[in-house]
């Protein structure tokens, strides 16, 4: 059984199909890169997957269930989306404690994840005073709060400096070693080539390539394959 | 739902803005009751009421409830704040059943509104008592005024908190929701009251006044509480407003995509 199964997914805004009959399976225990030019429909697909947007038609299931039907979703799926989802006037720790309480997770786990993302010293700082890199780490801390088997990450490297990207690479590898299923969208193609097992590429809402890294890329680079498949749009 | 209640409670108490509203409510209620005896004592500004009348002294204490709009603002902030700050994403990822989230918010907003009203009203009653002590000829209040005012604070705080959440769900823009609510309460409601006094008893301010069970007759100023609904009926009608708004929110706004 695929960890994530997307079948005939369509999401329409007005007359425009943001996602156009997308079908894809994400294998359990694999890291899958979800690639596409800006506006290709990656974020919309992920939002449909986690129930924030309602599909116009088709399904996006996690372990054969809609996200909203999962029992305590935070313990099964951790999500980082482009909008951070944290209150700027609350401290990092308070923000996580709000989420932890809603999922029935003990407060001690908040301290653990803050340490894992190396934000322990900034835990008492208000989120509005966090740098972009710190906000990304806090978002990742929120995603792993419930120790989920599946991680859905939308552009987690956005705005990170080289040191932040290196940290993220190590962090994702560590998470993947635990056998987690990770679906990650990113524009950092060189990073993705070194990190992911499988690749999904979409353009204008349609799936244009999928398979293992080797199948999609061959002997070349991911960037070359991506540019060839998407007509040079990056 | 217990876990969600704990989470929403944390949102209520962690945000400094909510504490600011409580402090503002205490100051407003205290100031309001402290100033009213001075106004009533002046024949030019006393609305035909004077402090040697029991109904005037009751009206001074009834002013303790004047911070009621802070309860509605707390409710609005609890919900529309989710959309303003993008925290709705984390909220609905953690608890994707939106109706349950709304129900939890209604409970917490009711508790929050009630706490703001009880604390600010108590401060207002204390302010009135201190101010009236400077007027030796002031009449004694009726026995019921304190209990009625506190009961009205509890009920109106809870109901207005609920209405605030419903409004904040319908109108996701926080500033628009708060401005709209204040505009309605302080401009549109009084105009409707003046233009159609018979319907005024069914409007929020008329219902809140009715919950106080005050007996004030000053028809020349548009005040005649004897025509208002009985306190219990007024409470039920006010709750009906909350139920209609919450129902509308579930049927419309909560079905929309979360950005």
Tell me whether residues B94 and A74 touch, CB distance under 8 A.
yes
Residue B48 tokens, joined: 């035909």
Tell whether the model's pLDDT for residue A161 goes beyond 50: yes
A57-71, A126-140, A161-175, B57-71: least confident range? A161-175
Tell whether the model's pLDDT for residue B1 goes beyond 90: no
Confidence class for position A32, pLDDT limits 50, 70, 90: very high
In a domain, B117, yes or no: yes
Percent of chain A with pLDDT over 90: 63
Q: Which residue has the higher pLDDT, A103 or B238?
A: A103
Domains in chain B, number: 1
Q: Is the dihedral of CA B164, B166, B167, B172 positive or negative?
A: positive
A16-30, A220-234, B21-35, B49-63: least confident range? A220-234
> Residue B187: helix, strand or coil by DSSP?
helix
Domain residues for B42? 2-187
Tell whether the model's pLDDT for residue B247 goes beyond 90: no
- Phi, psi torsion values for A192, nearest 5 degrees: -65, -40
Integer Cα distance of A186 and A34 in angstroms: 7
- Segment A181-205 shows an average pLDDT of 89
Please list every residue in chain A whose beta carbon sits closer than 8 Å to the beta carbon of residue B17.
Answer: 89
**Residue B69 in contact with residue B185, Cβ under 8 Å?**
yes
Q: How far A222 CA sits from the closest chain B CA (Å)?
A: 31
Tell whether the model's pLDDT for residue B252 goes beyond 90: no
Pick from A83, A90, A104: which is nearest to B89 by CB?
Answer: A83
In a domain, B248, yes or no: no
Distances A227 to A35, A150, A165, A234, B178 between C-alpha atoms, Å: 11, 29, 22, 7, 49
Q: How far B128 CA sits from the closest chain A CA (Å)?
A: 35
Tell me whether residues A74 and B97 touch, CB distance under 8 A.
no
- Burial letters B156-166, b for 16+ CB under 10 A, else e: bbbbbbbbbbb
Mean pLDDT of chain B: 86
Interface test with B, best of A14, A46, A87 (most B CBs within 10 A): A87
Q: What is the pLDDT of residue A83?
A: 56
Q: What is the pLDDT of residue B221?
A: 47
- Burial letters A187-221, b for 16+ CB under 10 A, else e: bbbebbbebbebbbbbbbbebbbbeebeebbeeee
Tell whether the model's pLDDT for residue A232 goes beyond 80: no
Integer Cα distance of A130 and A140 in angstroms: 14
Pick from A54, A84, A99: which is nearest to B86 by CB?
Answer: A84
Mean pLDDT of chain A: 90
**Residue A64 in contact with residue A55, Cβ under 8 Å?**
no
Which helix (H) or strand (E) segment holds residue A207: the answer is strand A206-212
Pick from A53, A73, A102: which is nearest to B257 by CB?
Answer: A53
* Residues B176-219: tens digit of each pLDDT: 999 999 998 888 888 887 788 778 788 887 887 777 665 555 55
- Segment A4-25 shows an average pLDDT of 93
- Segment B103-131 shows an average pLDDT of 95
> Which residues are paired to A212 by β-bridges?
A198
Q: What is the pLDDT of residue B199?
A: 82
In a domain, B241, yes or no: no
**Residue A62 in contact with residue A70, Cβ under 8 Å?**
yes
Tell whether the model's pLDDT for residue A73 goes beyond 60: yes
Nearest to B117, CA basis, from B61, B168, B155, B79: B155
**Residue in chain B nearest A101 by alpha carbon:** B7
Integer Cα distance of B33 and B129 in angstroms: 8
In a domain, B73, yes or no: yes
Tell me whether residues B90 and A73 touch, CB distance under 8 A.
no
In a domain, B126, yes or no: yes
Note which residues in 60-79 of chain A have CB less than 8 A from chain B.
Answer: 67-68, 70, 73-74, 79
- Segment A64-76 shows an average pLDDT of 93
Q: Which residue has the higher pLDDT, B12 or A173?
A: B12
Q: What is the pLDDT of residue B190?
A: 80
Q: What is the pLDDT of residue B224?
A: 61
- Segment B70-79 shows an average pLDDT of 94
* Distance in angstroms between the alpha carbons of the first and the last residue of chain A: 33
- Segment A12-32 shows an average pLDDT of 92
**Residue A110 in contact with residue A119, Cβ under 8 Å?**
no
Please list every residue in chain A whose beta carbon sits closer than 8 Å to the beta carbon of residue B1.
Answer: none
In a domain, B64, yes or no: yes
Q: What is the pLDDT of residue B48?
A: 67
* Residues B36-65: tens digit of each pLDDT: 898 888 777 666 678 888 888 988 998 898
Sheet holding A206-212: strands in order across?
A77-80, A150-154, A181-185, A31-35, A198-203, A206-212
In a domain, B217, yes or no: no
| ipTM of the complex model | 0.91
Q: Under the phi-then-psi rule, with left for phi > 0, alpha for psi from -120 to 50, and beta for the rest, what region is A22?
A: beta
Q: Which residue has the higher pLDDT, B5 or A176?
A: B5
Residue B75 tokens, joined: 């409710």
Percent of chain B with pLDDT over 90: 42
Tell whether the model's pLDDT for residue B220 goes beyond 90: no
In a domain, B218, yes or no: no
Residue B64: count other Cβ atoms within 10 Å of its Cβ: 30
**Residue B221 in contact with residue B49, Cβ under 8 Å?**
no
Interface test with A, best of B11, B89, B104 (most A CBs within 10 A): B89
* Residues B85-112: tens digit of each pLDDT: 889 999 999 999 988 999 999 999 999 9
B7-21, B32-46, B84-98, B128-142: least confident range? B32-46
DSSP string, B80-121: HHHHHSSHHHHHHHH---HHHHHHHHHHHHHHHHHHHHHHHH
Interface test with A, best of B90, B100, B104 (most A CBs within 10 A): B90
The structure tokens 């372990």 sit at A63
Pick from A73, A83, A88: which is nearest to B96 by CB?
Answer: A73
Residue B205 tokens, joined: 């301010």
Which residues make Cβ contacts (< 8 Å) with residue A219, sequence separation at least 6? Answer: none
**Residue B238 in contact with residue B208, Cβ under 8 Å?**
yes
Nearest to B117, CA basis, from B40, B25, B239: B25
Interface test with B, best of A71, A91, A101 (most B CBs within 10 A): A101
Nearest to B8, CA basis, from B88, B103, B105: B105
């Amino acid at each position: 059984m695929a960890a994530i199964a997307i079948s005939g997914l369509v999401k329409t805004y007005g007359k425009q199909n943001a996602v156009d009959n997308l079908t894809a399976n994400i294998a359990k225990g694999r890291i899958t890169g979800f690639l596409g030019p800006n506006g290709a429909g990656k974020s919309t697909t992920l939002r449909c997957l986690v129930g924030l947007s309602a599909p116009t038609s088709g399904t996006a299931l996690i372990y054969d269930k809609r996200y909203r039907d999962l029992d305590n979703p935070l313990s099964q799926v951790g999500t980082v989306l482009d909008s951070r989802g944290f209150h700027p006037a609350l401290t990092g720790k308070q923000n996580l404690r709000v989420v932890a309480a809603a999922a029935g997770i003990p407060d001690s786990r908040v301290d653990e994840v803050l340490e894992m993302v190396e934000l322990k010293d900034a835990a008492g700082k208000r989120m509005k005073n966090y740098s972009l890199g710190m906000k990304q780490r806090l978002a990742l801390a929120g995603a792993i709060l419930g120790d989920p088997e599946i991680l859905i990450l939308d552009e987690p490297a956005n705005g990170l400096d080289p040191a932040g990207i290196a940290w993220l690479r190590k962090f994702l590898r560590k998470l993947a070693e635990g056998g987690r299923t990770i679906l990650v969208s990113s524009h950092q193609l060189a990073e993705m080539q070194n990190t992911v097992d499988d690749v999904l590429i979409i353009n204008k809402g349609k799936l244009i390539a999928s398979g293992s890294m080797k199948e999609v890329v061959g002997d070349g680079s991911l960037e070359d394959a991506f540019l060839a498949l998407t007509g040079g749009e990056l | 739902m217990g876990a969600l209640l704990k989470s929403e409670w944390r949102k209520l108490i962690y945000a400094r803005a909510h504490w600011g509203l409580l402090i503002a409510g205490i100051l407003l209620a205290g100031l309001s009751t402290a100033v009213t005896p001075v106004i009533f004592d002046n024949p030019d500004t006393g609305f035909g009421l004077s402090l040697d009348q029991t109904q005037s002294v009751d009206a001074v204490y009834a002013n303790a409830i004047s911070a009621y709009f802070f309860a509605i603002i707390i409710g609005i902030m609890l919900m529309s704040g989710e959309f303003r700050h993008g925290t709705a994403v984390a909220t609905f990822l953690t608890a994707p059943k939106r109706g349950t989230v709304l129900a939890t918010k209604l409970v917490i907003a009711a508790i929050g509104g009630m706490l703001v009203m009880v604390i600010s009203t108590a401060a207002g009653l204390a302010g009135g008592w201190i101010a009236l002590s400077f007027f030796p000829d002031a009449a004694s209040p009726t026995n019921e005024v304190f209990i009625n005012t506190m009961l009205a604070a509890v009920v109106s705080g809870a109901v207005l908190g609920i209405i605030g959440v419903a409004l904040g769900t319908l109108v996701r823009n926080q500033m628009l929701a708060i401005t709209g609510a204040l505009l309605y309460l302080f401009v549109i409601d009084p105009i409707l009251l003046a233009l159609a006094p018979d319907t005024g008893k069914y409007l929020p301010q008329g219902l809140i006044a009715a919950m106080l069970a005050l007996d004030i007759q000053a028809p020349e100023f548009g005040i005649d509480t004897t025509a208002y609904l009985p306190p219990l009926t007024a409470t039920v009608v006010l709750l009906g407003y909350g139920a209609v708004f919450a129902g509308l929110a579930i049927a419309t706004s909560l079905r929309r995509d979360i950005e």
